[in-house]
Amino acid sequence: MTLIRRSPCPADADPAHRTAVGVMDAAGPQVCDGMSVEVTLAVMAAARTVRLVVCDQDGQCTGLVTHAELAAVRDRSDYTDRVRLRDILGDHGSFASPVTTLAEAEHAMRTRRLGVLPVVDEQRSALGILALSR
């Protein structure tokens, strides 16, 4: 797997020195961690996306959720409509900064088995998303 590059990469560009800000996708729609799974799935459907950035009440990024993760939660026998995103986020606290190199981001994503990684600023506001290609 390698990072998806949305913009052309010059032949002499060294991935060890290129940064996340150069290849990240826009963060896209964001949801509050107090939202229910059902409402979040509806937001995903309306936005025609398979993942959303999750933020707390202060607007700080707390992670990402995917449609597959939410569908798996909804299909569990102990699921109720009271389940909130903050209840299921688990280990989604991995982030990259705009100055993280592509090599560092790719290593972190492989090590943690993440398909996507939010890029956040110093205040942990979501700036974008890095994604691995398969």
Cα separation, 49 vs 29, whole angstroms: 9
120-133 per-position pLDDT tens digit: 999 989 998 888 77
15-73 per-position pLDDT tens digit: 567 888 888 888 888 999 999 999 999 999 999 999 999 999 998 999 888 899 999 99
Q: Which domain holds residue 59?
A: 2-6+15-133
> Residue 83 is part of a domain; what is its CATH number?
3.10.580.10
Can you read off the two tokens belonging to residue 48?
A: 């025609």
Half-sphere exposure of 70 (CA within 13 A, CB side): 26
Do the beta carbons of residue 110 and residue 1 sit within 8 Å? yes
